[in-house]
């Protein structure tokens, strides 16, 4: 089929001009929750009965063709799901993502959060001596840390470790974390000294504010050493 402007099918100007089956497939590919017939009919500018009939046709077609996905009617709406027969392949993908390696910088940041939680990004940056914003985003995406409210004095977002962190570390609770004292007898003094020499990482601070950071911070997220979590 020839295509018109911006990749749309030739002659298609509105949703109502599109072929219904592929249009439904395109919309269902991007929904993040089951879409009702009424919502789909409104989006595609078609009668609800016609949309409902085509949805059932699509579901039957995918089953007859033995596709790796299926179209289900759940929670009052329609959505694509992987077919149970191929669960082993999906599980392999999920597990592969969970065993991805963390950089040394990420492990160090995670350790600070674990022992100081709830803790703000600026506090973690002060302990490590480098800006940890990028690493914190990675840990949030991996589900190892989460937001835990705001600091009353400054309004800074606080972070803590998650249950998934405990699961990956094989811990029943944070009380099973090893004691730091035997290994870092002067940890408090080291942190206090480090904080004095680390500039503010507040992105909203004015350039002429005392301690405001200027330019990039050497060593940020550049650790190449990787360790399995």
Q: Which residues contact 131 (CB under 8 A, 6 or more apart)?
A: 125, 201, 213, 217, 220
Alpha-carbon distance of 159 to 117, in angstroms, equals: 6
pLDDT at 26: 95
Q: Please tell me the predicted confidence (pLDDT) of residue 220.
A: 38
Does a structural domain hold residue 90? no
From the list 161, 163, 122, 124, the residue with the least C-alpha distance to 139 is 161
CA distance 101 to 35: 36
Confidence of residue 97 (pLDDT cuts 50, 70, 90): low
Residue 39 carries which DSSP code? Answer: H
7-16, 40-49, 112-121, 219-228: which has the minimum mean pLDDT? 219-228
* H or E stretch covering 189: helix 187-197
- In this predicted structure, what is the pLDDT of residue 193? 46
| Nearest to 105, CA basis, from 72, 123, 130 | 130
How confident is the model over 157-205, as pLDDT tens digits? 999 999 889 888 878 888 888 887 555 544 444 444 444 444 444 444 4
Last residue of a domain, which of 85, 117, 135?
85
Same domain flag for 63 and 144: no
Do 114 and 194 lie in a common domain?
A: yes
- What would the mean pLDDT of 90-118 be, rounded to a whole number? 83
What is the b/e burial string over 173-203, where b = at least 16 CB atoms within 10 angstroms of the residue's CB?
eeeeeeeeeeeeeeeeeeeeeeeeebbebee
In a domain, 94, yes or no: no
Q: Domain of 133?
A: 102-205
Per the structure, the count of domains in the chain is 2
Residue 9, in any domain of the structure: no
Instruction: Check: CB of residue 29 under 8 Å from CB of residue 55.
Output: no
Average pLDDT score over residue span 31-40? 91
**Same domain? 175 vs 109:** yes
Residue with more model confidence, 209 or 96: 96
CATH number at residue 117: 1.10.10.10
The whole-model pTM stands at 0.44
Phi, psi of 38 (to 5 degrees): -60, -40
Shared domain for 201 and 106, answered yes or no, is yes
pLDDT confidence bin for 90, thresholds 50/70/90: confident
Mean pLDDT for the stretch of residues 120-142:
90
Provide the percentage of residues in the chain whose pLDDT is more than 90.
Answer: 44
Cβ partners under 8 Å of residue 59, min gap 6 = 70, 71, 72, 73
SS3 204: coil
């Amino acid at each position: 089929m020839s295509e018109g402007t911006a990749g749309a099918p030739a002659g298609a100007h509105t949703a109502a001009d599109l072929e219904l089956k592929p249009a439904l497939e395109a919309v269902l590919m991007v929904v993040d929750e089951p879409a009702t017939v009424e919502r789909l009919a409104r989006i595609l500018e078609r009668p609800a009965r016609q949309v409902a009939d085509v949805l059932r046709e699509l579901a039957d077609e995918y089953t007859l063709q033995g596709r790796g996905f299926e179209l289900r009617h759940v929670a009052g709406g329609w959505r694509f799901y992987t077919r149970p027969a191929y669960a082993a392949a999906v599980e392999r993908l999920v597990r592969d993502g969970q065993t991805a390696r963390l950089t040394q910088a990420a492990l160090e940041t995670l350790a600070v959060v674990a022992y100081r939680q709830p803790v703000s990004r600026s506090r973690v940056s002060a302990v490590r001596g480098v800006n940890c914003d990028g690493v914190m985003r990675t840990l949030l995406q991996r589900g190892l840390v989460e937001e835990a409210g705001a600091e009353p004095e400054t309004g800074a977002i606080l972070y803590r470790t998650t249950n998934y962190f405990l699961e990956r570390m094989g811990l029943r609770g944070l009380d099973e974390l090893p004691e730091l004292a035997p290994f870092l007898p002067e940890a408090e003094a080291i942190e206090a000294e480090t904080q004095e020499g680390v500039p503010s990482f507040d992105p909203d601070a004015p350039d002429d504010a005392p301690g405001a950071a200027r330019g990039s911070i050497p060593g940020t997220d550049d650790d190449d050493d990787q360790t399995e979590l």
